[in-house]
Chains A and B, each alone.
Chain A
Amino acid sequence: MRQSPSQNASLNAAIALTRFGLGAGPGEIEAVGNDARDWLAAQIRPDGAPSPQGDLPTTDERVQDWLAYQQTGQQRRQIRRQEGAGPQNALPPAARAQPMAEGAAMSGMAQQGQTPAQTAPLSDEAQAAFDARRESRRDLAQETAREFVARADLGATTPDGFAERWALFWANAFTVSAIKFQSGIFIGPYEREAIRPHVFGRFEDLVLATESHPAMLTYLDQAQSVGPNSVAGQRRNAGLNENLAREILELHTLGTDGGYTQADVTELARALTGWSIPTNRGAGGQGRGQRRRGRRGAALAEPASENGFVFRTIIHEPGTRTVLGKTYAEGGAEQGRAILRDLANAPQTGRRLSHNLARHFVADEPSPALVQKLEAAWTSSRGDLAQVARALIEAPDAWEPQATKIKTPYEFIVSTHRALGTRPQRPQPLQQALIQMGQPAFSAPSPEGWPDTAADWAGPDALVKRLNWAKTVGDRAAETDADAVAAAALGPRLGERSRLAIARAESRPEALTLFLMSPEFQRR
C-alpha cells in the first residue's frame, strides 16, 4: 500500500528524532516538519554541540579542586608522620582493602568513601585531617554527579538531539572513565571543552584537544610518564608509561589492524613524555614537589599551564622520533602534536571511525556502501566531521524504517524523560538505574568505551533490569495517558500490536510500562 506523502514525512521525522536523536517528546514529530534531513543538518554548527548548563566548572577550576584535594592528603600524611605513625598506616586498613564500587566517583555522595574503621583511635588533629580529606573527596564526587545530571538534563530537553548524540558518540570514542577517581574529576570539563566544541570541526583538532586534556592524561597515565634520557629520568628511578600511546594508536586513531608495531607504540610514548598536568608545586602548595626541591636545592619552576595542560621539558625524552616510518624532529610538545596530526589524518583512521559511526547510528553490521559513503566524505574533506555528519544524513540506509539498534541504558532513560516531558533531578536514582542496567555514569569499563551492539545491551539480566525500572516509572506516573505518550514519542513508528497492548492495559502504570518496554521504544 502506498503511503501518503505526509505519512512518509512523519515517519522520517520520527526516525530523525529517535535514530539520530535521543527520542521525541510531545509535539516534536510535528515540529520537525516535512524535511527531516534539513532539520538534522541545521544542527551541524561550526561551534560544535551545545554544552550542559548550570554554572559548571572549567578545566582550570577542576584542576584547582584536584590540587586542593591532594593537599588534604599531604596534610594528613604530615600529621601522621609527626605523630610517629608509619606512612603505610596513614590510611585505615579497612579503607585500604576496600574494593571501590563501580562508578564510585559518582556514588561517593553517601555511603562511599573512606570509613575511619581503624583499630587505634586517631588524635583529634589526625581525625580532623582525615575528615577534611574525606569531605574534599565527597565534594569532588558530588560535583561530578552534578555534571552528569546536567548532561542528562541537556539530553532530556535539547531541541538538537542529533548534535547531542553525535557529541556522545565522540565522547565514547575518546573515553575517559570515572572508574579512575582522579580522571572522573575532569570528565565534565573534558566533554564540554575538549569534545563538544570540536565534534563538527576537524578531526585532528578533536584528537589534539582530547589527548592533551588532564582527563585523558591522568586516565591513561601519561602525566607520570618520564623519558629515560630526560633530565629527570636520568637522576631518578622513573621511566616510560606507554598506556596512552598504545590506546591512541589502537582506539583513537589507526585501530589494531592499522599497521603499527610495538616500536611505534614506544616511539609515540617517548614523543609524548612531558605532556602533563599542574602540580601543587606551581600552586604554591606544601606538596611533595616543594619538599623535594628543598632537599635537592634545585628549584624547578613549574611550567605555565593552559587548560590544565603542562609541558614539562624536564621529563621529555630528547631526540627525533620515528613513527610509522616518518621521522619527527625534536620540538618539545610540538613533536607529539605533529605525530598526532598525522595519525588523525591517516586513511586507516577515517575508515575505522566511519565504520564505528555507521554501526552506532544505523546498524550493528552496517552495509559496506554506507561505510564507504562516510569514509569518502571523511577523506575528501580531510576529516571535516561536519561533512561526515552530512554524509550520514544523506545516506539511504540511515532512513530504513526497520529499527535494529537497541538503545543504551542512558539513551533509554533520557528518551523516557523526553517522552514524558520530565527532567532528571537527582543523581542518586539516575545512577542507581544506570548501574542496574549496566551503564554506570561516566564509568565505561575500559578505554574502549561502551560497547555498541544489541548483543551487548539486550542480555537477559539487562532486560530484567530495564523492566524493573520501567515499572517504577509506570508506578510513579500513574496520571499519564500512555496512549498519547506512545503516539507522540513514536509517531508512525508505533506498531499496531504495541498500540493495542498499551490501549488494552488494565491500568495506567501497566500501559506506560508496556510502552517503555515495547520493541519500538527499546529500539531506534
Chain B
Amino acid sequence: MTQMIHLNRRLLLGGLGAAGVGLAYAGRVAAQSASTRPKLVVVIARGAMDGLSVTVPYGDANYRALRGTLAIAAPGEANGAMALSEGFGLHPALTTLHQMYGEGQMRFAPAVAIPVRVRSHFDAQDVLENGGEGLRAQSDGWLNRALVSAGGQGTLKGLSIGAQTPLILRGRAETSSWAPGGQVKGEDRIASLLQDLYVEDPMLGTSLARGLETEALASAMSDGTPLRRADVAGLGQAVARLMTGEQGADVVALSVDGWDTHARQNAQMQTRLDGLDALIGGIRTGLGPQWSQTVLVVATEFGRTARTNGTQGTDHGTASSLLLAGGALKPGGPIGDWPTLADNRLFEDRDLAPTLDVRSVFKGVLRDHLGVDQAALDARVFPDSAAEAPALTGLV
C-alpha cells in the first residue's frame, strides 16, 4: 500500500507542535527539594488504542486467527513484536519502551477497562478522566482531585499543554497550560493592564495569569531553538523541562490522539506508536536524573474488537492495555490477569474482556508514588471505589 500516510481522524499526535497535545501537570510538595520530588506523567491515548497491537498476546492460541493480517508477528519473526514475558510482546515501533522494559522501567496491564461498559469515545473518555463510576458522575477530573487531596503539605498547581485543559485536570485545584509557540513575556505591560480589565471576569483573569506564568517559565527553560511541528521527541523534552527546577511541575497529563483505527490499522498504529515512543523517549531525556523519580502512565478509553473488521481495521471494543514506564517503577511482569481470547471468554462475543479496573492502577500509583492518602483515594479522588477498585500494591 502506498497509502500509509493516509490518516484517520483524531490523529492529533500530529498536533504536537501545535495545540493537539494537551498536557497537564501539577503537584509540588513544598517540603521536598527539586531533586527528590516524585514526578507523574499521565498520557491519555484518545480514540481507543488497540491494546492487542501494543502489548501483543502472540502466545494466545486465538490471537492470529482473530486478527488475521492485523496480527503482529511473534518475536523473532519478520516485523515481529519484541519479547516481554508470559507470551506477550511489545509492538516493534516501541523500541524505547522496550529498552526501558529491559532496564526494569516498564510494565504493562494487558486487559484493563474503565468501570462503565460504553463504546462511545466521548462518554468513555469522560469516565476515564472524571474517575467516577458513571457517565457525567463528576464534573471535575481525578488528577485534579488528587492534587487537592495531596495538597496538605504544600501548594499544588496544574498545567495543561494545548489550548484545551483536559477534563482529567479540571477542577478546584488551579492549573495552567502550555503549548509551543508563545512569545508573550510574563511581565508584559499589556498583560498587567488586562488584569485590571478582568477583575470582574475572574475566569479570564486567572486563566491568563497562569498561562503567562507558565510561558515565562517555558521561555526561561528553553534553549532558544524553536520546536519543529513534527519533532515529537523535542516536544517530550520541552515538556520535561517544564517539570524540572524549583518551579517545575510534578504531575503531567498529556493527550495523544489518533488511535481510532477503523480502517488500515497497521500502518496507522506504526505511525502513532513511533510518535508515542519518541515522545516518551524525549520526556526521559529531558528529565535526566529525575527520570528515576518518575512514573509515566499511558491509558486509553477502551480497546478495540478482537476480530478484524471488514476494512482492515477494528471497531470499538472494551478492554485495552495500559503501559507504565519510569525509573521509580518496581520491575515486574504483566499487571492483572489475561482473560484469553478464547471464544467463550470474549466480552459480548466480540471484545477482549477486562480483568482489571483502570482505577486500581491509578490509585496504586497515586498512593505509593505521590503519597495520596488511601482514604482520600477511596472516597474523593475515585468516589466509592474502595470495594470495586482497590489500589494495587507493589507498582512503585
Contact = CB atoms under 8 A, between A and B. Distances in A.
A448 interface: yes
Interface string B312-353: 010110000000000000000000000000000000100000
A440 B18 contact: yes
A257 B18 CA distance: 34
A232 B7 CA distance: 26
Contacts of A95: 5
B65 interface: no
A459 B207 contact: yes
A411 interface: no
Contacts of A480: none
Interface stretch (B210-218, B245-253, B371-379): B210-218
Contacts of A505: 193
- Chain B interface residue bracket vs A: 35 or more
B5 A100 contact: yes
Given A238-B311, A460-B208, A445 B197 contact: no
Interface string B162-174: 1111000010000
B208 A519 contact: no
Most buried by B among A103, A243, A497: A243
Interface in A227-260: 228, 233, 237-243, 246, 250, 256-257
Contacts of A445: 9-10, 12, 15, 20, 46, 257
A243 B230 contact: no
A115 B197 CA distance: 48
Interface in B72-94: none
B118 interface: yes
Given A445-B10, A459-B207, A464-B208, A101 B4 contact: no
B194 A517 contact: yes
Nearest to B123: A256
A499 B177 CA distance: 30
Contact of A461 (B9, B11, B179, B311): B179
A435 B19 CA distance: 6
Nearest to A513: B190
Contact of A471 (B8, B181, B190): B190
B14 interface: yes
Nearest to B205: A519
B368 interface: no
Nearest to B272: A99
B3 interface: yes
B2 interface: yes
- SS of A interface (majority): helix
A190 interface: no
Contact of A446 (B47, B212, B267): B47
Most buried by B among A114, A257, A435: A435
Nearest to A519: B201
A460 B214 contact: yes
A438 B184 contact: no
Contacts of A409: 163
Interface in B277-330: 309-311, 313, 315-316
Nearest to B122: A448
A88 B78 CA distance: 14
A451 interface: yes
Given A100-B7, A102-B15, A468-B184, A438 B309 contact: no
Contacts of B272: 99
Nearest to A461: B177
A101 B17 CA distance: 8
A283 interface: no
A240 B309 contact: yes
A514 B196 CA distance: 11
A95 B210 CA distance: 38
Contact of A438 (B162, B211, B311): B162
B274 A461 contact: no
A219 B9 contact: yes
Interface in A66-93: 73, 76-77, 87-88, 90-91
A179 B268 CA distance: 13
A93 to B, nearest CB: 10
A221 interface: yes
Given A228-B310, A440-B18, A501-B193, A522 B262 contact: no
B160 interface: yes
A455 B201 CA distance: 13
A239 B70 CA distance: 14
Given A100-B11, A102-B15, A459-B207, A451 B135 contact: no
B230 A464 contact: no
A90 B267 CA distance: 14
B55 interface: no
B36 interface: no
Interface string B197-211: 111110110011111
Contacts of A142: none
Given A95-B5, A446-B47, A467-B208, A243 B162 contact: no
Contacts of B161: 461
Most buried by A among B118, B121, B163: B163
B197 A463 contact: no
A243 B315 contact: yes
B2 A181 contact: no
Contacts of A181: 6-7
B20 A102 contact: yes
B16 interface: yes
Contact of B197 (A100, A454, A458, A519): A519
Nearest to A467: B184
B211 A459 contact: yes
A256 B13 CA distance: 27
Given A250-B120, A445-B20, A461-B162, A91 B4 contact: yes
A471 B191 CA distance: 11
Nearest to A257: B135
Given A242-B309, A445-B257, A455-B165, 13 more contacts: A76-B2, A95-B5, A98-B230, A100-B14, A101-B230, A239-B311, A242-B315, A440-B15, A446-B121, A460-B212, A498-B197, A501-B197, A510-B190
Interface of A: 73, 76-77, 87-88, 90-91, 95-104, 114, 177, 179-183, 219-221, 224-226, 228, 233, 237-243, 246, 250, 256-257, 262, 265, 409, 435-440, 445-448, 451, 454-465, 467-468, 471, 497-498, 501, 505, 510, 513-514, 517-519, 522-523
29 contacts: A91-B2, A96-B271, A97-B270, A99-B11, A99-B230, A99-B275, A100-B5, A101-B18, A102-B20, A221-B311, A224-B263, A228-B310, A238-B310, A239-B309, A240-B310, A243-B260, A256-B135, A438-B162, A456-B164, A459-B162, A460-B210, A461-B161, A461-B176, A461-B177, A461-B182, A462-B177, A465-B163, A497-B199, A514-B190
Interface of B: 1-20, 46-47, 68, 118-123, 135, 159-165, 170, 175-179, 181-184, 189-191, 193-194, 196-201, 203-204, 207-212, 214-215, 229-230, 232, 257, 260, 262-263, 267, 270-272, 274-275, 309-311, 313, 315-316, 348
Nearest first, the 3 closest Cβ-Cβ pairs linking A and B are A438-B163, A239-B310, A460-B211
